[in-house]
Amino acid sequence: MKEINPNESLDLKGVACPGNFVRAKIRLEQIQAGQILEIILDDGDPIKNVPRAIREEGHEILKVEKIHDKWKLFIRKT
Amino acid sequence: MTEYNIKDLKSGGLMKQKEKDLFSLRLRVVGGYIRSDQLVKLSRIANKYGKGYIHLTTRQGVEIPNINFKHFEEVRKELAEVRLDMGSCGQRVRTVTACQGTECSHGLIDCLSLAKEIDRRYFGIGGHPHKFKIGITGCPNGCVKPQENDLGIMGRLKKGFVKENCTYCGLCAQVCPVGAIEVDKSNRKIVFNKNKCIGCGDCVYSCPTQAWLRRKEGYSIFVGGKMGKFPKLGVKVFDFVETKDKVFEIIEKTLEFYKKFGKKGERFRNTLDRVGIDKYVEYAQ
């Protein structure tokens, strides 16, 4: 898979639900459609809830990477 | 003033209080949903006839305490203006409870429309050995506690897999609560253990590439749950009922079985334990 270059990055380690989603949502509102936001999420509830919530908002998740016990998501704003 | 029999009053949602002449009025509420204009009316009634407050029941219902007997007809007329009916007590089908599965992002079925339909068909039906409670929950999280009901309904999902869409990111394996999915990223392989799957849909909803897809919604049926002095959890008797009509058929057969085999004053669970759950399943399926 080709390398993805995010326009923005948001570290949500240690941020509980639904605060992590809300912060991602706010950041997504600040960028342009088509731009890419990279977020880092904890295991457990965050990875269970945030990707689905982002999808339900209509954004596209381009890639998911597991880095030890954290998860990196690349989201394209629609 | 009309003479009322306490037992008749109770069957229509009036409960005698400790205080002389005072009753608590139980209303017919489905799944805990009340319109805002109905709430305004409830507030007015509570101020005018009661003591300025209402009580929220454990089964998502509403009761207006401290209503004097002599105001009963007036209150009922006012309730009718916002299309609120009296609730159900006694040996009848009680308030149908439901979670917010219609709105909740975990909800797999439209709980509200199902609750309304069940309420329309079966609410208040009497003649059973004891009360009969039905609860509907939208997914295996079971927030409405279907296992505490005489008959509980739970939304379930059967899913499909589109290999070409999968990026083997491993998210589904991570979110699956029962470890039914294994992802081998280096060999681009997914192993799905169907027997472990509880049909919650977490994999489907978290999959970023729509490799897991919603294929079919269905219903699990639990029976024999009860609380009270001798609580028992309901047991799952039908794992995946495919249609609403089949659910209604099971409810009807269940009520019929209870009427036929239950002894007076016996909760459904006790009937099941005495007569045998196998006999019930055979009857209801």
Please give the ipTM for the structure prediction: 0.80
Angle at CA of residue B175, ends B174 and B178, nearest 5°: 95
Contact criterion met (CB below 8 Å) for A61 and B165: no
pTM for this predicted structure: 0.90
Per-residue pLDDT tens for B262-275? 999 999 999 999 99
Q: In CATH terms, are B6-81 and B158-216 the same topology?
A: yes
pLDDT score of B10 more than 70: no
Grouping H, G, I as helix, E, B as strand and the rest as coil, residue A22 is helix
Task: Give the model's pLDDT for residue B13.
Answer: 85
Domain B97-156+217-284, CATH among 3.30.200.20, 3.30.413.10, 3.90.930.60, 3.55.10.10? 3.30.413.10
Residues 6+ apart with CB under 8 A from B91: B126, B127, B128, B129, B130, B131
Which of chain B's residues have a Cβ under 8 Å away from the Cβ of A62? 208
A37 at B interface, C-beta within 8 A: no
Residue A1 domain-assigned? no
CATH of the domain at A55: 3.30.110.40
The CATH number that domain B158-216 falls under is: 3.30.70.20
Contact criterion met (CB below 8 Å) for B78 and B47: no
Grouping H, G, I as helix, E, B as strand and the rest as coil, residue A78 is coil
A52 at B interface, C-beta within 8 A: yes
Query: In chain B, what percentage of residues exceed pLDDT 90?
Result: 90
Query: What is the pLDDT averaged over residues B124-134?
Result: 94
Distance CA B200, CA B22 (A): 46
The CATH number that domain B6-81 falls under is: 3.30.70.3340
A56 at B interface, C-beta within 8 A: yes
Per-residue pLDDT tens for B168-195? 999 999 999 999 999 999 999 999 999 9
Per-residue pLDDT in tens (0 to 9) along chain A, 78 residues? 568 899 999 999 999 999 999 999 999 999 999 999 999 999 989 998 999 999 989 999 999 999 999 999 999 999
Q: Tokens at residue A38, please?
A: 């990279």
Q: Which residues pair with B152 in a beta bridge?
A: B135, B222
Query: What is the pLDDT averaged over residues B100-121?
Result: 96
Task: Give the model's pLDDT for residue B2.
Answer: 47
Instruction: Give me the catalytic one of A7, A12, A17, A44.
Output: A17
Query: What is the pLDDT averaged over residues B195-201?
Result: 95
pLDDT score of B196 more than 90: yes
Distance CA B199, CA B157 (A): 5
Which residue in A66, A68, A70, A71 has the most chain B C-beta atoms within 10 A of its own C-beta, making it the best mutation to test that interface?
A66
pLDDT score of B1 more than 50: no
Domain count along chain A: 1
Yes or no, beta carbons of B206 and A48 under 8 Å apart: yes
Q: Where are the domains of chain B?
A: 6-81, 97-156+217-284, 158-216
Which of chain A's residues have a Cβ under 8 Å away from the Cβ of B169? 63-66
DSSP-derived pairing of the beta strands B151-161 and B134-137: parallel
Per-residue pLDDT tens for B71-89? 999 999 999 999 999 998 8
Residue A25 domain-assigned? yes
Catalytic annotation present for A17: yes
User: What distance in Å separates residue A61's CA from the closest CA in chain B?
Assistant: 5
Chain B residues whose C-beta sits inside 8 Å of any chain A C-beta: 105, 167, 169-171, 174-175, 202, 205-206, 208-209
